[in-house]
Amino acid sequence: MKSTVAASAKRRWKWFVAAVLALVFFSLLVPLAFLLGLHNRFPSGNLNDDRASASSESSFGNHGKVPATREKNLNVPQGADLVDDIMKNLRSDISKVDKNTKANKNSQTVSTPSNSQAQSSIPPPNGISIPPPFTPDTLGTTTVKKYKVGETTTPCELEHGSYCLWSIEHKEKLKDDIVKRLKDQLFMARSYFPTIAKMKSEEKFSREIKQNIQDYEKMLSDAIVDADLPLTVEKNIQRMELAITKAKSFHVECVNVIKKLAQILDLTEDEAQFHTRQGAFLYHLGVQTMPKSLHCLSLRLTGEYFRSSSSDTQISSSDKHDKPSYQHYVIFSKNILASSVTVNSTVVNAEVSANLVFHVLTNEQNYYALKLWFSQHSYKDAVIHVLNVEKHELTSKYDYNMSTMTFSEEFRISVRDNDQLSTVERRIEYISIFGHSHFLLPDIFKNLKKVVVLDDDVVVQKDLSPLWDVDMKGKVVGAVQFCEVRLGQLKRYLGKRNITSDSCIWTSGLNIIDLEKWREVDISTTYQMLRKEIQSMKVLPWRAASLPISLLAFQDHTFGLSSTWLLSGLGKDYELSKDTLSNAAVLHYNGNMKPWLELGIPRYKSYWRRFLTRDDQYMDDCNVSL
């Protein structure tokens, strides 16, 4: 019995020894297989480190345990057979992966080049599968197409759509591409020509380059875009290209080339400065010129006024025009839609519109158009009185031609923040001020005591009736002060006069005028003296003279209104916040970018458009779309 137990124990011990030897042999054989190159059968193009390890785990996962049927009869020869079975299964799994990889590679539109294959066949250390190096033609499973852009070939990656491909297919050809190429060749030829011209042995070649330069200058003098070039331009380009190539083969003094290129640079800078000044002038002309549609509207209304049978009838309620008990607003304007928006916005936001009387003062050219417009449009219970300033009867003290009268003026000035002469620290500001016509107000409205003057480029957002209760402390004009510019910064405009340099200037847009105080201090006489003085000096033109006259005539006679009444800068400042815009009582579009122009700042136009008259036949006929 004891011998039987000992024999069975000895057999179990041999079985354990065989299992241990099999595992040791297996642990040594697998790394040896990788070192001998079996791993080369793994697909290196589509596997990274993670996928390789995952594949290895999945391959060995099915063979990590010995089946139960063979476990009982396991001995050393059977352990060797087990290893052979494992290696056969491993080879079959690897071959399946290899076949799938080859099939994927054949389905790709771009194959891996031979040099990358050679690199990927080198056995990596420690059995790690290394992806092939990146080249423009190998992007893994991503399709790559090449497109020629100019002289270079640009790869486009077509993964989830490609902006590169879209931009190339939809690229718009420049209309002056050939013109720019001609200019580049001309610059090169001019830089080499001085040196070639000094070579006596190359007189023929020198004449050839000179002729090419003259031909180019003639073509470029008449051509701005490629369509302006003659049909022989390709031949000229080829001749010039050959000439430049030949010129580069000669020994050229670098000093001469540098000098010529410096001259060309100077000419180019001068040309750029000229175009900059020209662009600024055209921009200024564009913002100062009445748009074609608005000019058409004025002509149509004027013609209709004389065709209408009711042209001689006054608008309404003429008995209110000179009664001080009403709230009188004065608007100087030549613009029909602008003055209409100012009137409409004031009436809409007024608590009581029956107390409002608007005096729209204009010139003779626009008088009939404005009169017909306001007669055909109603503004609640407000009264509109259109007046021709040029036909008004004035006293003999005004000895100048009324046709030269100007309305509200706006000046673009350059100021410095300190006394240094550096132009870098200068800034541009727009100052709105009274024109010469404003000094006629006491004579035009002889029976009125107080008026509120509005510019035609303002939009009213709140009720203005509290302005009539403002105590101006005996001052003539109530205005919002503009402390970004002070009188001391305008000395060159004001001349040698006693002024308070630190005083803020005031602006028009919204102004209260005490006509009784005006007559008491006799502002009109001060104006006449300043006008004659400036005219005798012949320093400033007639319109520009209104800036020093207005500032000096009302010096010490201005009352500062709260800044909440008027917000300026909507015609020049892009950075005004929404809260600032909504809290202001009046928005002033001072600056070049008026809301009725295409150049107007888009985000501010909505405040102006909401008070614009719609569905008007004359506006439709003239294609007025604002």
Same domain for 228 and 332: no
Cβ-proximal residues to 499 (8 Å cutoff; 6+ apart), any chain: 487, 488, 491, 552, 555
Same domain for 491 and 357: yes
CATH code: domain of residue 353:
3.90.550
DSSP 145-193: EEEEETTEEEEEE-SS--HHHHHHHTPPPPTTHHHHHHHHHHHHHHHHH
- Count of domains forming the chain: 3
The answer to whether residue 517 is domain-embedded is yes
Task: Report angle CA 503, 506, 510 to the nearest 5 degrees.
Answer: 155
Task: Report angle CA 59, 61, 65 to the nearest 5 degrees.
Answer: 130
Same domain for 496 and 425: yes
The answer to whether residue 578 is domain-embedded is no
Same domain for 92 and 46: yes
- Which strand (E) or helix (H) includes residue 543? none
Closest CA to 453 of 353, 327, 344: 327
Assigned token pair, 475:
């001052």
The answer to whether residue 55 is domain-embedded is yes
DSSP 100-150: HHHHHHHHSSSPPPHHHHHHHTSPPGGGPPPPPPPBTTB-TT--EEEEEET
Residue 190's domain comprises 177-288
Assigned token pair, 85:
């079975």
Determine the 3-state secondary structure of 384 from DSSP: strand
The answer to whether residue 385 is domain-embedded is yes
The answer to whether residue 503 is domain-embedded is yes
The answer to whether residue 27 is domain-embedded is yes
Q: How far is CA 122 from CA 118, 129, 130, 211, in A?
A: 7, 10, 10, 62
Buried b (16+ CB within 10 A) or exposed e, 199-208: eeebeebbeb
Under DSSP, the state recorded for 452 is E
Q: How far is CA 278 from CA 66, 270, 498, 558, 597, in A?
A: 92, 12, 39, 39, 20
Same domain for 377 and 238: no
Same domain for 338 and 262: no
Same domain for 427 and 368: yes
Which of 243, 266, 288 is the last residue in one of the domains?
288
Determine the 3-state secondary structure of 230 from DSSP: coil
- Which strand (E) or helix (H) includes residue 493? helix 491-494
Closest CA to 551 of 521, 530, 565, 579: 530
Same domain for 340 and 452: yes
Same domain for 483 and 352: yes
Identify residue 424 by its one-letter amino acid code.
V
Same domain for 182 and 123: no
Closest CA to 43 of 127, 93, 100: 100
CA end-to-end span of the chain, whole Å? 117
Which ranges of the chain have pLDDT less than 50? 1-2, 5, 38-80, 82-83, 90, 94, 97, 101-102, 104-144, 146-152, 159-160, 311-315, 395-396, 420-423
Under DSSP, the state recorded for 595 is T
- Which strand (E) or helix (H) includes residue 286? helix 254-288
Which of 127, 150, 166 is the last residue in one of the domains?
127
Same domain for 479 and 394: yes
Q: How far is CA 534 from CA 222, 402, 493, 541, in A?
A: 47, 18, 11, 9
The answer to whether residue 576 is domain-embedded is no
The answer to whether residue 325 is domain-embedded is yes
Same domain for 473 and 370: yes
Residue 226: what pLDDT?
85
